[in-house]
Amino acid sequence: MTPSDVLPVDLGPADLADGELREATAGGLSLVVARTGDRLVAFETWCTHEECPLSDGWLEGDAVRCACHGALFSLTDGIALEGPALDPITVVSASVTPDGRIVADISTLHP
C-alpha cells in the first residue's frame, strides 16, 4: 500500500504554534508540516536546490527558508521566491480532525 492509497493521512498532533514547522513521516515519505496563521500546510522535506532538509529551516511569514543555502519557498504555491533554488516544492493544505490530528492528502508530494 502506498501513501496515495490512504487519503488523507495522519501527520501528527495539531499542536503547532503559528510560525512553527515540524518533520513528519507518512507511508515512508519524509515531509514537513507547518502553521502560518490559521493555515496548516504539508510540503516536501527536500529543498529543490541541493536536497537539504527543509525541516532544518524556518518560516518567514508565509514562506519557508532553507538553512543550507538560503532558498525561500512560498507556502502558498511552492514557488521559489529566492534562489539558489529555481524549481518549486509541492505544498498541500492540511486540516485538523475533531480529535486534534493534522491530516492531508499527500498524494501529490514527491518522495
Partner 1 sequence: MSASEEWAGSITVEQLDEDPYPIYERMRREAPVCFVPAVGLWFVTRWADVEFAASHAERIDSSVTPSPLIRAMGGPSILVLDGEPQKKLRAMLDPSLRPRAVEASSPALVSPIVERLLDGLAARGEADLMSEYFEPVSVLSLGSVLGLAEIDGDTLRRWFQGLAQGAINFEDDPVRWAVSDATGAEIDRDLAPTLERLWEAPDSSTIATMLQHAEGTFEERVATILPTLKVILLGGMQEPGHAAGTTVAGLLDSGQAAAVAADPSGLVRDAIEEGLRWVSPIGTQTRRARVETDLGGVTLPVGANLGVLVSSANRDEEIWGPTADSYDLFRPKRNHGAFGFGPHFCSGHHFSRVQMRIGVQRLFERLPNLRLDADRPPVFNGWEFRAPQHLDVRWDA
Nearer to partner 1 among residue 10 and residue 77 (C-beta): 77
End-to-end CA, the chain: 15
Q: Minimal distance in Å, beta carbon 88 to partner 1?
A: 9
Nearer to partner 1 among residue 56 and residue 105 (C-beta): 56
Q: Minimal distance in Å, beta carbon 82 to partner 1?
A: 6
Q: Minimal distance in Å, beta carbon 83 to partner 1?
A: 5
In whole angstroms, what is the distance from residue 82 CA to residue 65 CA? 9
Q: Is 68 left (phi over 0), alpha (psi -120 to 50) or beta?
A: alpha
Nearer to partner 1 among residue 42 and residue 64 (C-beta): 64
**Which stretches of the chain bind partner 1, using CB under 8 A?**
57, 60, 65-70, 74, 79-86
Nearer to partner 1 among residue 34 and residue 73 (C-beta): 73
Could you tell me if 90 and 37 are in contact, meaning their C-beta atoms sit under 8 angstroms apart?
A: no
Q: Minimal distance in Å, beta carbon 45 to partner 1?
A: 17
22 Cβ partners below 8 Å, 6+ apart?
Answer: 12, 16, 32, 33, 34, 55
